[in-house]
Amino acid sequence: MGIRLHNIEDPVDAALSHVVEDIAELPPPSIVINQAYEEHMEEIGKFFETLHRVPATFQYDFEDNRQPFVFSVDNFRGGTSIDRVDVNIEFEADLTPEPLGVYTRTYVATVVFWDADHGEAGRREQRLDFAVSVDPARASRIAAAQLVFMLPAGFYRLAVTLEDKILGRISSYRTDVTCVDLESKLALSDILFAGAVRPVARESPFNRGPLEVVPHASRQYRAHKSIPIYFEVYNLARDERDVSHYKVEYRIGRREREEPSLWDALRGKTETVSPPDISSSFRMSGNGPYDVVHFTFTPENLRAGVYDLYVTVRDDLSEAEVSRVAAFRIIE
Q: Is the pLDDT of residue 51 over 80?
A: no
Kindly report the CATH number assigned to the domain that includes residue 249: 2.60.40.10
Q: Do 149 and 120 share a structural domain?
A: yes
CA distance 251 to 246: 17
Q: Do 146 and 38 share a structural domain?
A: no
Contact present, 152 and 83 (Cβ < 8 Å): yes
* 209, part of any domain: no
Q: Is the pLDDT of residue 121 over 60?
A: yes
Q: What is the DSSP letter of 116?
A: T
Residue 84, CA distances (Å) to 114, 127, 149, 170, 175 in order: 16, 21, 6, 27, 17
CA distance 76 to 81: 11
Residue 301 is predicted with a pLDDT of 80
CA distance 307 to 299: 11
Shortest CA distance to 229 belongs to which of 214, 246, 210, 208?
214
* 211, part of any domain: no
Q: Do 329 and 242 share a structural domain?
A: yes
Q: Do 80 and 41 share a structural domain?
A: no
Q: Is the pLDDT of residue 25 over 60?
A: no
What average pLDDT does this structure show over 41-56?
47
Q: What is the pLDDT of residues 258-276, one digit of tens each?
A: 555 665 556 665 555 555 5
Residue 288 is predicted with a pLDDT of 79
* 12, part of any domain: yes
Q: Do 150 and 84 share a structural domain?
A: yes
* 34, part of any domain: yes
* pLDDT band at 79; cut points 50, 70, 90: confident
* pLDDT band at 24; cut points 50, 70, 90: very low
* CA atoms within a 13 Å half-sphere pointing along the CA-CB vector of 301: 7
* 195, part of any domain: no
Give the residue from 184, 202, 236 where a domain finishes. Answer: 184
Residue 74, CA distances (Å) to 127, 248, 279 in order: 21, 20, 24
Q: What is the pLDDT of residues 292-314, one digit of tens each?
A: 999 999 888 888 899 999 999 99
pLDDT top residue among 316 and 184: 316
Please report the DSSP string for 218-260 in residue order: T-EEETTS-EEEEEEEE-----TTS-EEEEEEEEEEESSPBPP
> Phi and psi (nearest 5°) for 217?
-60, -30
Give the residue from 29, 53, 77 where a domain finishes. Answer: 53
CA distance 236 to 320: 9
Q: Do 40 and 62 share a structural domain?
A: no
Q: Do 76 and 125 share a structural domain?
A: yes
State the average pLDDT for the chain. Answer: 81
* 200, part of any domain: no
Report whether the peptide linkage leading into residue 99 is cis, meaning its omega lies within 30 degrees of zero.
yes
Q: What is the pLDDT of residues 178-216, one digit of tens each?
A: 999 898 899 999 999 999 999 999 999 999 999 999 999
**Would you tell me how many other CB atoms lie within 10 Å of the CB of residue 293?**
20
Q: Is the pLDDT of residue 254 over 80?
A: yes
Percentage of residues in the chain with pLDDT exceeding 90? 54
Interhelix angle for 30-53 vs 11-24, to 10°?
Answer: 170
What average pLDDT does this structure show over 225-236?
95
Buried b (16+ CB within 10 A) or exposed e, 27-51: eeeeeeeeebeeebeebeeeeeebe
Residue 30 is predicted with a pLDDT of 47
Q: What is the pLDDT of residues 129-169, one digit of tens each?
A: 999 988 877 888 899 999 999 999 999 999 999 999 988 89
Contact present, 253 and 310 (Cβ < 8 Å): yes
pLDDT top residue among 56 and 319: 319
Contacts of 159 (CB under 8 A, 6+ apart): 57, 58, 111, 112, 172, 173, 174
The torsion angle over the Cα atoms of residues 303, 277, 178 and 15, rounded to 10 degrees, is: 60
Kindly report the CATH number assigned to the domain that includes residue 178: 2.60.40.2550
Contact present, 236 and 242 (Cβ < 8 Å): no
Give the residue from 12, 28, 53 where a domain finishes. Answer: 53
Q: Do 111 and 62 share a structural domain?
A: yes
Q: Do 38 and 11 share a structural domain?
A: yes
Contacts of 271 (CB under 8 A, 6+ apart): 260
Residue 85 burial (C-beta neighbours within 10 Å; 0-12, 13-18, 19+): buried
* 176, part of any domain: yes
Q: Do 299 and 227 share a structural domain?
A: yes
Residue 277 is predicted with a pLDDT of 67
H/E run at residue 189: none
Q: Do 233 and 148 share a structural domain?
A: no
CA distance 191 to 230: 6
* 101, part of any domain: yes
Number of compact structural domains in the chain: 3
CA distance 296 to 219: 14
Domain, as residue range, for 88:
55-184
Q: Is the pLDDT of residue 5 over 90?
A: no
Q: Do 16 and 81 share a structural domain?
A: no
